[in-house]
Amino acid sequence: MNFDLATFLEEAGVGRKLVQLRPTQVFFSQGESADAMFYLRAGRAKLTVVSPEGKEATIALLVSGEFIGEESLASVGALHLATATAIEACSALKIGRDEMIRVMHEESDFSEMFRKFLLARSMRTQADLVDQLFNSSEKRLARILLILSEFDEPGKPDHLVPPITQETLAEMVGTTRSRVSFFMNRFRDLGLIEYKGRIRVHRSLLNVILHDQLPGQSSSPTSELPPSRSGTAGRAKGA
């Protein structure tokens, strides 16, 4: 029987189970045994880590078509390195470690698809690191809004951000809620976004990422607010 990649990823079977998650529901938690991974069929999720001091940081945003928890392939008894949480309602295929290894060995189509995913994840992780090290919090917020609205998905008629609080956006950006509120209001006043219940992202927001420039600005980098009285926020929540 020929292997059907689409069927494998869309249907339950031996070592595979379809799961549905509500917003804020957890796929797995940091430190738990990593004996399975997930293929995100629909919805969006995030990966967060917590330091021994209790500081929390968002390290990745995940969209449909991605795998979650690939560390389970590393070895028997591996632990999850982060917590994966649904940002909006998600549909996922849970794949046991043994089944994942089997299909990788036996099915070249699946192996090729998974290798492409790992390469794309590696490249995006590097881009995330550059973003955190060198970009202003305003530019980081613009990038996160573009990712959450799946702006790079061709043919998508509306680029809507899933329901999300400014506190969560601040955690993702690595800044304070008041700074996120300031930047969001500025983006809206400049016509880069609009929100009436849901945030809608316009193409013009790409200028903040591609040209580091807001409408009416010169080519100089976007400015940030001066540090608040409580001090400049760190990259992680609670920093």
Tally of residues, the chain: 239
pLDDT above 90 as % of the chain:
45
Question: Is residue 234 predicted with pLDDT exceeding 80?
Answer: no
Considering only residues 19 and 124, tell me which one the structure prediction assigns the higher pLDDT: 19
C-alpha pair distances (Å), 39 with each of 9, 42, 58, 195, 214: 7, 9, 20, 30, 37
Indicate if 135-210 has the same CATH topology as 5-131: no
Q: In what order do the strands lie in the sheet with 56-62?
A: 26-28, 83-86, 45-50, 56-62
Q: pLDDT tens for residues 69-121?
A: 999 998 888 899 999 999 889 999 999 999 999 999 999 999 999 999 999 98
Domain formed by 135-210, architecture: Orthogonal Bundle (1.10)
Alpha helices (H) in 81-225, listed in sequence order = 97-106, 108-134, 137-148, 166-173, 177-189, 206-210
pLDDT for the residue 216: 57
pLDDT for the residue 223: 41
Question: Is residue 229 predicted with pLDDT exceeding 50?
Answer: no
What's the whole-number mean pLDDT along residues 204-220? 66
Considering only residues 220 and 215, tell me which one the structure prediction assigns the higher pLDDT: 215
Q: What is the dihedral of CA 116, 31, 47, 10, to 10 degrees?
A: 50
pLDDT for the residue 105: 94
Contact status, residue 140 vs residue 174, Cβ threshold 8 Å? yes
If one counts every other C-beta atom within 10 angstroms of the C-beta of residue 48, the result is 20
Question: What is the C-alpha to C-alpha distance for residues 55 and 237, in angstroms, rounded to an integer?
Answer: 6
CATH 2.60.120.10 correct for 5-131: yes
Q: pLDDT tens for residues 132-166?
A: 788 889 999 998 998 888 877 766 667 888 888 88
Q: pLDDT tens for residues 16-37?
A: 999 999 999 999 999 999 999 9
Question: What is the C-alpha to C-alpha distance for residues 91 and 86, in angstroms, rounded to an integer?
Answer: 10
Domain locations in the chain as residue ranges: 5-131, 135-210
